[in-house]
Amino acid sequence: MKTKKFLSVVALATLMVSVGSTAMAKGKITVYPYLDTNYALVSALSEEMVDFSVEIKTEKGEFVYSSGKVGSSAQFNKLFDFSKLSDGKYVAVLKGSGKTFLKDEFTVANGKLVKKVADKDAEEMAAKVWAKNDFIFVSYLNKDYDAYSMKVEDESGNVLFESALPKELTYSGKFDVSSLPSGTYYVSLVSGKNSSSYAIRK
């Protein structure tokens, strides 16, 4: 059966953030089912902070989607309608500077993404916190639409900042910490029953 060449892209409200660049190729690309529908969410997080692109191909290498250069945004999120895709195996690819950095293989059957068994790496993709120059960056994928909150503490445990974050499917934000002295800080994210902490060196 010949693969259909085009994917429908569904508009998705997402806050995107422009950031600087780093030398290491880090990040993640994952394809998620979107509720009980024919849609799937392709989410890519590039910690390189440089121009990158996202592509979707068949297992034979035929293109069905290319984002072109995403620009300097750290995160890419789009909903796709898989109902017009032929059954088979596909791969979503995160690329930069002509090289394939990361990929996620998935299967489509009856016009829908076949659910994959969740793995540890996929769960770790849900939230990311990192620092660059005088900014702290926060990105998360909130599949359950839980309320998120963020707290920043110094090494002595003093709370310097605490705020609720948007209850959205995806979020990327940056926080200016230029007024803080050099040192180690701890960023905590809380969502539903889950919490995670990150040590940030400024």
Average pLDDT score over the chain = 75
The larger pLDDT score, comparing residue 9 to residue 91, is at 91
- pLDDT of res. 57: 93
Average pLDDT over residues 51-61: 87
Of the candidates 89, 81, 84, the residue with the CA atom closest to the CA atom of residue 108: 89
- Find the helix or strand (DSSP H, E) in which 123 lies: helix 120-124
Average pLDDT over residues 92-120: 78
Task: Return residue ranges of the chain for CATH 2.60.40.3080.
Answer: 8-113, 126-201
Asked if pLDDT for residue 20 goes beyond 50, the answer is: no
Tokens of 138: 């926060």
Q: At 12, is the pLDDT very low, low, confident or very high (cuts 50, 70, 90)?
A: very low
Asked if pLDDT for residue 9 goes beyond 60, the answer is: no
The larger pLDDT score, comparing residue 190 to residue 72, is at 190
Judge whether 114 and 17 are in contact, CB under 8 Å.
no
- Topology of the domain covering 8-113: Immunoglobulin-like (2.60.40)
Question: What class has domain 126-201?
Answer: mainly beta
Average pLDDT over residues 94-110: 81
Average pLDDT over residues 173-190: 87
Residue 20 main-chain phi, psi, to 5 deg: -80, -165
**Alpha carbons 35 and 40: distance in angstroms, whole number:** 8
Tokens of 147: 């309320």
The DSSP output letter for 10 is: E
Which residues make Cβ contacts (< 8 Å) with residue 172, sequence separation at least 6?
14, 15, 16, 17, 73, 74, 75, 137, 138, 139
Out of 44-48, 58-62, 107-111, 193-197, least confident range: 44-48
Average pLDDT over residues 191-196: 75
Of the candidates 164, 146, 155, 162, the residue with the CA atom closest to the CA atom of residue 186: 155
pTM: 0.53
